[in-house]
A and B are shown apart, each in its own frame.
Chain A
Amino acid sequence: MVRAALAGRKVGREPVPLATLVPAASVVAASALAVLPIVSASGWWPNLGLLMLLGWRMLRADAWPAWWAAPLGLVNDLLTGAPVGMSMALWTALMLAMDIIDRRTQWRDYWIEWLVAALLLAFAAWVEARVAALNGAPPLLTSTVPAAAIEILLFPLAAYAAMRIDRWRLGR
């Protein structure tokens, strides 16, 4: 028999329809997880939209054009109640920083990706703390450092999710 007939549905698949929009949709879905009825006293949960954004960008540079980070950031701001414009500017700046890092590095493995993501997430947490301070609510270090550490430690999960979604959407 033809070997493809024995392999079932795993061979000869095409990319899903609207495959170019799937990465951005997954970032919006991660931001939309903010509607979960979690009442937290300390706010140490990670920024899920930002984690998916960095997970996708580390995986592929062509997940979306760099300027898509602005509307994705606007949606994140509206869904999480952050000051409107903070995620827009921050996420676009992170995309440009990733473009610069892409051009400067020839080869990177998982640890370097995690390290770069850790630096970018620490910068994002610092920006969030400064904007909160501008709005009259400077957070204590005992609030921001554990939250940033949890985000950094959860980055591999986001990278794995991005990788699996990428395999699914491309039909591989």
Chain B
Amino acid sequence: MAAPAGPRPGWSRRAQYGLFFAFLAAIAGIIVGLVLLALSVVSPKSYQAVRGAALDVMAPVTVAFSDVSATVSGLASGAGAYWDAADQNAALKAQNTRLRQQILTANAVIQENRQLKATLRLREELREAVAAGRIVGSSFQSPRRFAILSVGTSDGVTVGMPVRAAAGLVGRVIDAGANASRVLLVSDRANVVPARILRGGIPVISTGRGDGTVDIRPLEVGRNPFKRGDIIVTSGTGGLYPPLVPVARVIRLDDDGAIGIPLADPSEASFALVERPFEPAAGADLPAEAR
């Protein structure tokens, strides 16, 4: 097809001036955009109010749609529970018995742990969650891995708080509006979680890869200490994430590290707890919160 009627002003002086000023405005728009972008990169904190307000505008719609889709998918998965129900039932009963025995062992270990800590006169504070919300949305168009959480500053959430689900660590809060906040997931490239392998306590660092998996590297040089199926838990180093929160499970080995998949799946419709930073006094080198 022919080129569309471009902005050809013709002989009209008014149209020529109009076109000239339109181009000037476009150049000004580019310059303003570059300045704002430079501010975004250099000092992310300056946009927190604006980003929080934008979250407050969009989050109610997201929460409403997410409720609808949770109901619909609940109906679908509920129907699946009736398929081959007798076999599912038997398998679940066997798993239940095994897990009960493991719980008994775990309870005994917890008791022993308490007695040992009392003997050493270690004092620990009880940690309770600041707020509980649901992951309702995400940044599905962007190379960054953010998630939208349905609780905000009106529920006590502030920027920098760690977020965990029952299955494992989800991430940390980077933007907080009044009713919703944005969470940087553990699988984002900029999220570094100090961790250790549960089997053996070897210290490792878990960095996101941006595609839903994490890259786990050991802190000590030597033989590759990972095995497929290893569970990685937080170590409490750095003062942000509380220790012994499951982070990921190793799925394959790399040359000197491993690739893991986070245990907390953000697309599950389960609750996410926002907690206070574990040890704020150790937070002198906390990462820039709005990244």
> Which A residues fall within an 8 A CB radius of B?
32, 34-48, 59-62, 65-67, 69-70, 73-74, 78-90, 92-93, 95-96, 99, 102-103, 105-109, 128-129, 131-132, 134-140, 142-144, 147
Contact = CB atoms under 8 A, between A and B. Distances in A.
A116 B90 CA distance: 59
B190 A69 contact: no
A79 B47 CA distance: 14
Nearest to B269: A39
B141 A80 contact: yes
Given A79-B54, A137-B210, 8 more contacts: A37-B65, A41-B187, A65-B22, A67-B26, A70-B29, A89-B30, A136-B189, A143-B209
Contact of B266 (A35, A41, A95, A105): A41
Contacts of B32: 70, 85, 88
Contacts, number: 207
Interface residues of B, number: 64
Contact of B26 (A38, A66, A144): A66
Contacts of A62: 4-5, 7
B141 A47 contact: yes
B23 interface: yes
Given A38-B137, A92-B26, A137-B144, A84 B40 contact: yes
Interface in B119-147: 135-147
A147 B30 CA distance: 25
Q: Give 10 nearest A-B pairs by CB, closest first.
A: A85-B36, A41-B212, A70-B29, A88-B33, A89-B33, A85-B37, A67-B25, A37-B66, A137-B189, A40-B140
